[in-house]
Amino acid sequence: MDRALKSEAQQYGTLLHGDVKGANIFFSRRPDIDSSSPRKCALYDFQYVGVGLVTRDLVYFLGTSVQNALVWQAGHEKDLLRTYHAKLVQAMRGRQDSHVTLQNHPEYTFDTLWVHWELAIVDWYRFMAGWGFWGNDSWIARRAKEITTEWTQRGFSCTIAA
């Protein structure tokens, strides 16, 4: 698992916050509640900053700060990720000032994001098993077991302890 994450991060790594939870996110106030302009947000408390797959911060956030109903609904997880991927692709295309653009990684497809997502879920479960379970731990446990069962059926050697 660790080897897979590091290998993928060599090609697709980005700067991670490392502690993306609701308590570490500030949202701007809207001048008018009916305003069509999006709210801005900022992250703080960068004590765990490092390089890794973008899905690691995303799993951490969904696994600690989002209501279970948003991720438990059948198919909703993929819908959330499709929206995220579309916004990520759009943001990367809009970056003119960076050497890290989609031109460098045009193959960062939704399927690649999904593989990274599954790695991040299993890795987050592994982390929580050592530190203690909290947040949407029942969703994370269920998904990690589903993912590792599928990996095993495809011939990979992995297990999740009960």
The pLDDT value given to residue 149 = 92
Asked if 83 and 47 count as a contact pair (C-beta separation under 8 A), the reply is no
Q: Which whole number is the average pLDDT over 27-38?
A: 70
The pLDDT value given to residue 8 = 87
Cα angle, residue 85 at apex, residues 12 and 118 outer, rounded to 5°: 65
| Per-residue pLDDT tens over the stretch 42-75 | 888 888 888 999 999 999 888 888 777 777 765 6
Q: Which domain holds residue 78?
A: 2-30+37-120
Q: What is the pTM of this model?
A: 0.79
Asked if 58 and 120 count as a contact pair (C-beta separation under 8 A), the reply is yes
Strand partners, 26: 42
Q: Would residue 152 count as lying in a domain?
A: no
Closest of 130, 78, 84, 129 to residue 108, by C-alpha: 84
Q: Would residue 18 count as lying in a domain?
A: yes
Least confident range of 31-35, 81-85, 102-106, 147-151: 102-106
Q: Would residue 104 count as lying in a domain?
A: yes
Q: Would residue 137 count as lying in a domain?
A: no
Q: How many domains does the chain have?
A: 1
Q: Would residue 112 count as lying in a domain?
A: yes
Q: Would residue 127 count as lying in a domain?
A: no
